[in-house]
Amino acid sequence: MIHLIHMHGIRCYLVSMKLKAIPFPREYGSWGILITSCIMGVALQRGPVTAVTVLALAGISLLFMTKAPLSAFVRRRHGPDLAVSAVYAGGGLLFLWPALSAVRPGTLLLLAVVPVLTIAVYALSAFLHRERAVVVEFFAMATLTLPVLFFSLAERHPVNVRMSALWLLSFLYFSASILKVKMLIFRTRGFRIANVTYLIAVAGVFAVLIAERAVPVGAGFAFLPLVENVVSTFVQRDGRRNLKRVGILELVKGCIFALVLILAAVSA
């Protein structure tokens, strides 16, 4: 009896070790952006929260979880990584199916372009060990912010300029953190110039959207947290020592952006 208990304990230990070996996405910043985007999408969908909405949230989370094992498989090419990624992807699509079936086929194909390109870019970057390249992170941000647009489509609303513009604003806002963090870590003149140039470009895009009446004027207040990005450009700080603090600050700024943008869009 004692021998059986001992053997059972060894098996449990081995199973736990195998589970720990399975890669799990621990990018808390990415989780924060994804959750914020989902909240924005649900708040802007012009419909009640239903079981389909809840299933879609679970499906999106599972699809995001495919990133870590897929990247690990491309690097190591052994272990349970590919199987784990397939399980996550299969479960995610299964949960998403009720929402996906409500989206028009043409719109669905158009929507799928962004995540498909992101997967391809991530796979290539993992193979080349360049997962932190700026272009890769921009592709990832485009996918992480897609829920802003998706939940409206899942309510059988067609793609319109307003919702597309709100997704674009979300993508532009959250992408600003990419260059800011790079600037704080590497502290080079090139990243400082890129940071300021990007912020000017964001202001220009917003001005065009306002002129075309694609978004409400009040949405501009959602971009006020980016003033801190401007200040960070001229105040020299070593971001490598305070990455956790920077991450928390960006999460708070993202929540402020989401709240103000939702209020502006709903009240317009």
Check residue 20 and give its pLDDT. 54
Whole-angstrom distance, CA of residue 99 vs CA of residue 150: 9
pLDDT tens digits, 114-126? 999 998 888 788 7
By the 8 A CB rule, do 178 and 137 touch? yes
As given in the structure block, the two tokens for residue 224 are: 């006020």
Check residue 75 and give its pLDDT. 75
pLDDT tens digits, 127-178? 787 877 899 999 999 999 999 999 888 877 777 888 899 999 999 999 999 9
Check residue 129 and give its pLDDT. 76
For 215, phi then psi, to 5°, come to -135, 155
Transcribe 178-194 into DSSP letters. HHHHHHHHH--HHHHHH
Whole-angstrom distance, CA of residue 268 vs CA of residue 266: 6
Q: How confident is the model at residue 26 (pLDDT cuts 50, 70, 90)?
A: low
Distance in angstroms between the alpha carbons of the first and the last residue of the chain: 71
Task: State the pTM of this model.
Answer: 0.85
pLDDT tens digits, 33-68? 999 999 999 998 877 888 999 999 999 999 999 888
CATH 1.10.357 applies to domain 23-158: yes
